[in-house]
Structure 1
Amino acid sequence: MTELILHHYPESPFSEKVRLILGHKKLPWESVRVPAVMPKPDLVTLTGGYRRAPVLQVGADIYCDTALICDVLEHVQPEPALYPPHIKGVARIFAQWADTTLFWAAMTYSSQPRGAAQLFPTPEIGQAFFADRKAMRTNMTQLRLGDATSAYRSYLRRVAHMADEHDFLFGAEPCVADFAAYHPLWFTRMRTPVLADILQATPSLLEWMERMSALGHGRFEKLSPEDALTVAERAEPLPPGQNLLVDSAFQDDHGIPLGTRVTITAEAFGPEPTEGVLMAATRTHYSIRREDPRIGAIHVHFPRIGYVLRKADPT
C-alpha cells in the first residue's frame, strides 16, 4: 500500500475535502499538521514555495492542489469512483465551480466579524490570519460582504435543487462534485455556527451534509513534520509515467522544452512560486524536479488548470 501523507490543519476547508475522500475510499493515511499561516518552513521545504493546504506527500513526490490530489487518490483506489464515467465531465466542471466561485462566496460570508469572533481565540490571532490571507490574494478581486451573501444564498438554493432529487448531487453515490461543494458549507456550519442559519432555508442540503459527514476521515495516524521530511529524504522521486499521475505525454503549449528551469505559480490565490527543472508537462499536470539541502531531490506536481508556467529568471 502506498503511504499517503497529508499535510493539513483541522480548520482548513480544502483539507476537509481530502480527508472525507480518504475516508470514502477507505485509504489509510498519515496526518501531518501544518500551521495555518506563514511561516511554514517544513511544508515549504517539500514544495519549494507553495504553501496552501493541503499537500499530499508520497515518498519524495509532492502533489499540490486538491484537484490534482483527487486524481492521485482515484489512481491509488479507483473504487468508489470520484469520476463515474457517465458524469465524468460534468462532475469535474461542477467541482471546479464549487472550489472557486462557491468557495469564495462562502468564505467571504463566513469571515464577517461575527464569524471571525468564533474562528479565533483572540483578536490578535484573527488579525494575523487575515493579514496572511490578504498577502495571498495579490491577484484577486475581493467580494464585498453583501454581494457574497446574496450569491451564497443563491448558490445554496441551486445546489439544494440537486440534493432534492438524489441522496447525493448526481445520484445515489457521492462523486468529486459532492466533496467540492461540501467543504465550503462545512466551514460555515462547523467553524462559524453563529452564521449557519443561512443553511436553514435548504433542508435537503442539510440532509445531504449529514450524509457527507457520515463518510468520516477513515483510519489515520499522526506523523511529525520532521518524520515526513525523513520519509522524503530516504525516498527517490519517481520518474514521469511511473508516479501516481496516469498521463505522461508531453503537451507543449508554452514553447518551453522539458529540462528547462521554470517557475510554477498559482493564477490567483497564493503568489509564492515554486522553481525547478521541468520534468513533465502533460494535458493535466506539470512536474518539476528540485533539490533541497535538507531532503535532497524532490518532485513537485501541480495541475495545469489554475497555474502559470514560466521560464525561470536566468539571473
Structure 2
Amino acid sequence: MSEFILHHYWPSPFAHKIRLAFGLAEVEWNSVEIPRIPPKPNLIPLTAGYRRTPVLQIGADVYCDTQNIVCAIGNKGYGEKLFPENCMTKALVFSSWIDETVFELAARIVITNSIITAPKEFIQDRGDLYFGKSWSQEKLYTDLPSVILQFESKLKLIDDILKDSKNIISNGLSYADISVGYLLWFIRGRWKNGPNILSKYKNLLRLEADINRLNDKHVYKDMSDVEALKFAYESTPTSRVGINSNISTDLKVNHNVKIKPAGESSDPTVSGNLRYLDSSSIAIDHHSDETGNIAIHFPVSGYEILKSG
C-alpha cells in the first residue's frame, strides 16, 4: 500500500493541486473522501480541529496546507520531479503568490457568481472562511467588476512570463506550473465566463494543456476514513523533534501552542504541544481516542503561532 493518504473531495481546487502534484511525481496514493463542509467527524481527530482541504496523512504524521503537503511529498524522494533544476524555493514563492493573491480573487469571482445557485449553507461556509464573518452579498456584488479587472491583470502577468519560456520556472513542469494549472481548472470549471476569459491568453492555454495530461497519471486506491484512522492509530510519528537554532523564538519543545491561518476567517484555532519548529514548518503532538498519538504539521508562513497561556 502507498504511504500517501490524501483526505480530500474531488471538486476541491486545492486538493486538485495536490492530485496534480502526485501525477507530476508519478506516485501512487490512497483517496479518502471527506465532506465539503463541517462537520467532518472522521477528519478532525487527525487535525486537532483544522478544517481546510486537503490533508495528507503519512502513517501517524499529518500534513496540513498544500505548501506543507508538497514539501512532505518532495522529502519522501520526489523532490527532483516536483522541483526540477533546484527550483524549490522559487516554486514555493510563486505558488504562495498564486494561492494568497490570485486564487483569492478567483474565489471571490466564483462565490459571487454562485450566490443564487449554490446551496445556501455552502456559500455561507465559504464566505466565512475566505472573507471573515463580516462579509455580505451586497459588498461582493459591488466589488465584482473591480475584482475581475484585478484577476485579469494577474492572468496577463502569468501569460507574459510564459511568452519566452515553456514553463514558469524550469525547462520541465514543476510545482510552480501546477499552481497555475489548479487555478485555471477552478476558474474554467466554476465560472461560466471563465472559458471566455481564458481564451485570450494563448500561453496559459498551452501550459494548461500540458498540465491536463497529468490527469492521466492518477494512480490511486479508495480508502475509507475509518481505515485511515485505524492506520494512524497503529502507526507512530517518525518526524523530527526539536527547535532549529537559526530561528528567533522563545518557544520550546512541549510548550503548548495555538495555530491558526493568518487573517480574518472562520478557521478554528488548533492547539497542541510543540514537537518541532524551524523557519518553514511547525509540528505539534496530538492525541485522540481515534488516532492515538500523532504529529500534525503546518507551515510557518501564513499562520499565526502563539504560546498558549
Q: TM-score, normalised by structure 2?
A: 0.90
Distance 1:4 1:97, change over 3 A: same
Match of 1:200 in 2: 199
Match of 1:104 in 2: 104
TM-aligned CA deviation for residue 33 of structure 1: 0.7
Cα deviation 1:79-136 (Å, max 9, x = unaligned):
54333355443322211101110111111122332x566xxxxx4x521111112332
Contact 2:90 2:169 (C-alpha < 8 Å) held by counterparts: no
The answer to which of 66-75 and 158-167 deviates more is 158-167
Match of 1:131 in 2: 124
Distance 1:233 1:288, change over 3 A: same
For 1:303, the aligned partner's letter is P
Q: Are 2:72 and 1:72 equivalent residues in the alignment? A: yes
Contact 2:85 2:170 (C-alpha < 8 Å) held by counterparts: no
Q: 2:250 aligns with which of 250, 255, 263?
A: 255
Q: Are 2:287 and 1:291 equivalent residues in the alignment? A: yes
SS of the residue 1:111 aligns to: helix
Q: How does 1:136-215 map to 2 (within 5 A)?
A: 136=129, 137-138=131-132, 144-215=143-214
Question: Separation in 2 of the partners of 1:248 and 1:255?
Answer: 10
Q: Which runs of 5+ in 2 are unaligned?
A: none
Distance 1:223 1:86, change over 3 A: closer
TM-aligned CA deviation for residue 248 of structure 1: 6.6
Question: Separation in 1 of the partners of 2:134 and 2:251?
Answer: 27
Contact 2:84 2:172 (C-alpha < 8 Å) held by counterparts: no
Match of 1:273 in 2: 269
Distance 1:248 1:175, change over 3 A: farther
Match of 1:244 in 2: none
Distance 1:253 1:138, change over 3 A: farther
Question: Separation in 2 of the partners of 1:116 and 1:27?
Answer: 38
Distance 1:239 1:212, change over 3 A: closer
RMSD between aligned alpha carbons?
2.3
Distance 1:86 1:6, change over 3 A: closer
Distance 1:109 1:86, change over 3 A: same
Match of 1:45 in 2: 45
The answer to which of 157-166 and 98-107 deviates more is 157-166
Distance 1:12 1:202, change over 3 A: same
Distance 1:290 1:79, change over 3 A: closer
Contact 1:258 1:279 (C-alpha < 8 Å) held by counterparts: yes
TM-aligned CA deviation for residue 198 of structure 1: 0.9
SS of the residue 2:162 aligns to: helix
SS of the residue 1:301 aligns to: strand
Same amino acid, percent of matched pairs: 29
Contact 2:87 2:170 (C-alpha < 8 Å) held by counterparts: no
Question: Separation in 2 of the partners of 1:251 and 1:280?
Answer: 13
Q: TM-score, normalised by structure 1?
A: 0.88
Aligned residues: 301
For 1:166, the aligned partner's letter is S
Match of 1:19 in 2: 19
Cα deviation 1:211-263 (Å, max 9, x = unaligned):
1010125200111111111111111112416xxxxx97355533121111111
Distance 1:140 1:248, change over 3 A: farther
For 1:265, the aligned partner's letter is K
Q: Are 2:308 and 1:308 equivalent residues in the alignment? A: no
Q: Which runs of 5+ in 1 are unaligned?
A: 118-122, 242-246
Runs of at least 4 residues off by over 4 Å? 139-143
TM-aligned CA deviation for residue 270 of structure 1: 5.0
Distance 1:43 1:250, change over 3 A: farther
